[in-house]
């Protein structure tokens, strides 16, 4: 029997979709020349050892970033995973959690947890009931 999402998981998915639908604004951009995957990584992502980011959420953000810039999306989800691997990231299938990438998170996700992405020493704490 396939696994069914809990109400909490469905609410989290719905909230993520609402957040993803919000338009990007110029304030969300870093003032650097951003024209490729590497620039998107610098503009929109944060690096944290031993943390895992969802590849689907990263791909969605990359697609929105490209659309905001009036550029076509060069990667399918599969090609995006391959591009992250080519950039040196470990990408794995995490079963029910989807495809995850080690060490790469969206800056906005860190900020929503009250963590400053520019401070590499800050850790992320997950409470037992959040797992």
Q: What kind of architecture, by CATH, is found in domain 7-119?
A: Orthogonal Bundle (1.10)
pLDDT band at 129 (very low <50, low <70, confident <90, very high): very low
Mean pLDDT of 66-85: 89
- For the ranges 66-75, 102-111, 116-125, the lowest mean pLDDT is seen at 116-125
The 10s digit of each residue's pLDDT in 8-27 is 655 555 555 555 555 555 44
> Which residue shows structure tokens 């990408």?
91
Q: What angle do CA 7, 58, 102 make, to 5 degrees?
A: 95
Reduced 3-state DSSP string for the chain:
CCCCCCHHHHHHHHHHHHHHHCCCCHHHCCCCCCCCHHHHHHHHEEEEEEEEEEHHHHHHHHHHHHHHCCCCCCCCHHHHHHHHHHCCCCEEECHHHCEEEEEEEEHHHHHHCCCCCCCCCCCCCCCHHHC
| pLDDT attached to residue 5 | 53
pLDDT-derived band of residue 102, with 50, 70 and 90 as boundaries? very high
* Domain residue spans of the chain: 7-119
């Amino acid at each position: 029997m396939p696994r069914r999402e809990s109400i909490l998981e469905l609410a989290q998915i719905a909230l993520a979709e609402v957040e993803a639908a919000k338009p990007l604004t110029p304030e969300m951009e870093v003032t650097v020349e951003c024209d490729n995957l590497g620039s998107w990584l610098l503009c929109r992502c944060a690096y944290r050892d031993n943390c895992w980011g969802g590849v689907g959420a990263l791909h969605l953000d990359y697609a929105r970033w490209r659309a905001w810039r009036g550029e076509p999306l060069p990667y399918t989800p599969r090609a995006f995973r391959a591009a992250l691997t080519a950039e040196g990231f470990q990408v794995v299938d995490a079963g029910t959690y989807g495809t995850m990438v080690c060490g790469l998170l969206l800056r906005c996700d860190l900020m929503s947890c009250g963590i400053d992405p520019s401070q590499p020493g800050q850790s992320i704490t997950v409470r037992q009931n959040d797992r």
